[in-house]
Amino acid sequence: MYNLEQIFSVRNERCRYKKHKVITLLGLKLKFKVETKFKTDFFNREISPNTILLVEPNYVCHRETLPGVTKYLIDLGYNVDILLSDFEDNSLCNYPYDVKIFKYTREQVASLMRNPKLSKYERVIFNSKVVYLNSKDWLDIHEYFDDLKSGKKQNIYVQHHIDRINEIPEDKQIILANPAQIEEYESIVVNPHYFGNVKITDLNRPRIKFCIIGALENKRKNVDLLFNSIRTLESSGVDNYEILIAGRFQEKLENLEPVFQEHIVLKGRLNFAEMYQVLEESDYFIPLLDPDNPEHDRYIKDGTSGGFQLVYGFLKPCIIQEKFAKVYNFNDTNSIVYAKNEDLGSAMKKAINLNSNEYKILQNNLLKMQKEIYSKSLKNFDKILRGK
């Protein structure tokens, strides 16, 4: 006996980047590949000499690195086109440079990656080496795209997972940071921390603003540290501050006790323009990294946090635990460093009590570090791009 869906149904199904229409008729399934129609702007684009195509294959992830990677390329004398899949938000909203952004579906981007037109570009750079299909299926880009073409020179891939860098040794890759300080990787570090025309702001008075950016997941942040620090500040009689929180999974912070509601401002999940504004309004950045959580060891071994790029780009001193501070060269001259989890509240109190001159010294030292990172990254990228 057939139910109605078994007699006849039509649905769309996606396998990797391919889209199919599945028709069920009397229990028999028929699958047809769906061809999507292209806009013509990419095909009609006249590609100037010395132009690089920068591609982000992921739907949401890693968009924050696009402005910085593009800035390096422009400073090195290249023209840049950017190709995004399932475009949702614009991380280049404050960008002062002339770049062309093409927006397509994932299926269309996959088709373009097999198109001979790519050979007209000097290079193709993929902003992600790993493509996230969902929370569990993370494919190398060669698994995701069939018959991947290249520009005049070999493709370059941004590897956000250093533990996967040797999966395909012949691929030319760059990494955003080298937290484990592996000597052979020093020459491929390119750290993007430029976000366009952003405001570098002075210390807020009388109410200091801290910010927390990113998903409130245990594997990324220990939210309990935040509650404990508010309790510490309350017991010290300190109340001239607020904590701006932007990112996913804020439901756990709803219906809090009044002592927490007084200081926590939930911004929700923001677009890039709104996130940049929160950073400009803030005084300090709190990553909430926990030295006792093994999942957070990723940030000192084979990965990095986009939050540190925001610290460099917006010159926001970091309130950070010393285990992580050492790896990223944060110290008492450019940040507020604390030893144990229970010391976060005291570190925040110290930050609140800094005067404008002391705060400016932290910012100036962050600026010095930012320039050193930029100079080293630019030299690394230039050498990589001049290769085959």
Question: What residue spans in the chain does CATH classification 3.40.50.2000 cover?
Answer: 208-369
CATH class of 51-174: alpha beta
Q: Which two tokens stand for residue 255?
A: 């219906």
Q: How far is CA 41 from the centre of its chain?
A: 27
Asked if CATH classification 1.10.3720.10 holds for the domain at 208-369, the reply, yes or no, is no
Q: Cis check for the bond before 206: say yes or no (omega within 30 of 0).
A: yes
How many Å apart are CA 36 and CA 232, to the nearest integer? 57
pTM, entire model? 0.87
How many Å apart are CA 59 and CA 100, to the nearest integer? 19
Reading the chain (388 residues) residue by residue, the pLDDT tens digits are: 455 555 666 666 555 545 556 677 666 777 655 555 556 678 788 899 999 999 999 887 898 999 999 999 999 999 999 999 876 678 999 999 989 999 888 888 888 888 888 999 999 999 999 998 877 789 999 998 888 889 999 999 999 999 999 999 999 999 999 998 899 999 999 999 999 999 999 999 899 999 999 988 889 999 999 999 999 999 999 999 999 999 887 777 878 888 899 999 999 889 999 999 999 999 999 999 999 999 999 999 988 888 999 999 999 999 999 999 999 999 999 999 999 999 999 999 999 999 999 999 999 999 999 999 999 999 999 999 998 7
Long-range contacts of 25-32 (CB under 8 A, 24+ apart): 26/2, 27/2
